[in-house]
């Protein structure tokens, strides 16, 4: 109330406008490696870092790293991120060291000054290589013509959970495939997966039979194939042996004569074959 005029006065409250610009992108990294979480901040005005507040947060509740007007602050950090981050303010990138499965999630980078706030969201997903699938014989003694062949195929130490496992049975230029049940277990500490599939079939009547298993991975990571198990006296012809050797050296294509189907094969380190 104005004591002179008797009219009420409007109270003027100063405010600071905030403009939020969000960008979302997906980042993948191998387990126990460094993840690079970047901010989309062109900084066309060449604003000095000493005039900005920058912080990264996970799932909007955990503070991963904070730079307050050029100085790193640690008192607000979530305990699991202490001494695990490094920041490059020149590239607006945060390094998260020794990334684990528990670090998967949505990360948000926020850069603030008086009139502008810029936000970048990053989704982090972990990956870890599976071991080459390995076939083991579960039956004991010598195989008999009317007996059964009991096999298992195992692979482990990988992430994320694989899609499926397929058995391949080849003889006389014919290949049969079968998708079998896959037992999956996850290590409570490392969060890595181990998988096993079993095959129980009559002993093949055809000689020169080869049995392989194929582990199909997710996230467009391809597949891993085991070393073939040979049933019979002469499992490989000379041409078969040459083909396997070439697959370990360079890219090749092979043709299933019965199905007229072409399959691409790419070698990966350690003699594993990546099939897509």
| CA pair distance 7, 79, nearest whole angstrom | 56
Supply 172's token pair.
Answer: 């006389």
* Confidence at 43, pLDDT banded by 50, 70, 90: confident
**Alpha helices of the chain — where are they, by DSSP H?**
238-247
The pLDDT value given to residue 197 = 93
Same fold, 20-127 and 134-233: yes
The CA-CA-CA angle for residues 257, 210, 259, to 5°, reads: 20
**Distance between CA atoms of 175 and 159, rounded to whole angstroms?**
29
42, containing H or E segment: none
Burial readout 161-189 (b: 16 or more C-beta within 10 A, e: otherwise): ebebbbbbbbbeeebeeeeeebeeeeeee
Strands 117-127, 20-30: pairing is parallel
pLDDT at position 36 is 87
Angle at 109 between CA 103 and CA 114, to 5 degrees: 155
Confidence of residue 120 (pLDDT cuts 50, 70, 90): low
pLDDT of residue 31 exceeding 50: yes
Across 27-36, 231-240, 252-261, least confident range: 252-261
What is the pLDDT, as a whole number, of residue 253? Answer: 36
**Per-residue model confidence (pLDDT) at position 119:** 56
Section 67-71 average pLDDT: 85
Q: What is the mean pLDDT of residues 252-268?
A: 35
pLDDT digits (tens, 9 = 90+) for 130-185: 889 999 988 777 777 778 888 999 998 888 888 899 998 888 778 888 888 999 99
CATH class of 134-233: mainly beta
Query: In the chain, where are the structural domains located?
Result: 20-127, 134-233
275 phi and psi, to 5 degrees? -115, 135
What residues pair up with 174 in beta bridges, in sequence order? Answer: 171
- Of 9-13, 82-86, 92-96, which gets the smallest average pLDDT? 9-13
CATH number of the structural domain 20-127 = 2.60.40.10
Average pLDDT, the chain: 71
Q: Of 77-81, 170-174, 198-202, 272-276, which range is least confident?
A: 272-276
Evaluate if residue 221 carries a pLDDT over 80: no
Indicate the pLDDT class of residue 195, thresholds 50, 70 and 90: very high
* pLDDT value of position 220: 62
């Amino acid at each position: 109330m104005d004591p002179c005029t008797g009219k009420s006065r409007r109270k003027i409250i100063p405010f600071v406008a905030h403009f939020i610009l969000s960008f979302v992108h997906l980042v993948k990294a191998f387990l126990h490696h460094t993840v690079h979480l970047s901010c989309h901040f062109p900084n066309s005005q060449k604003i000095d870092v000493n005039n900005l507040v920058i912080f990264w947060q996970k799932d909007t509740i955990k503070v991963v790293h904070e730079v307050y007007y050029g100085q790193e602050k640690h008192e607000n950090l979530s305990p699991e991120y202490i001494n695990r981050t490094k920041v490059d303010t020149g590239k607006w990138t945060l390094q998260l060291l020794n990334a684990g499965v528990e670090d998967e999630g949505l990360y948000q980078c926020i850069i603030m000054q008086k009139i502008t706030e810029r936000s970048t969201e990053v989704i982090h997903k972990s990956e870890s290589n599976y071991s080459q699938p390995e076939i083991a014989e579960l039956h004991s003694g010598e195989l008999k013509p009317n007996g059964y062949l009991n096999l298992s195929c195992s692979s482990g130490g990988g992430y994320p959970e694989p899609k499926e496992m397929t058995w391949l049975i080849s003889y006389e230029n014919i290949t049969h495939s079968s998708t079998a049940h896959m037992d999956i277990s996850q290590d409570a500490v490392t969060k890595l997966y181990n998988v096993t599939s079993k095959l129980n079939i009559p002993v093949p009547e055809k000689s020169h039979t080869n049995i392989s298993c194929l582990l199909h991975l997710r996230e467009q990571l391809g597949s891993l194939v085991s070393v073939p198990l040979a049933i019979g006296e002469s499992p490989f012809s000379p041409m078969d042996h040459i083909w396997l050797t070439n697959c370990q050296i360079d890219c090749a294509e092979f043709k299933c004569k019965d199905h007229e189907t072409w399959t691409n094969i790419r070698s990966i380190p350690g003699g594993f074959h990546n099939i897509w």
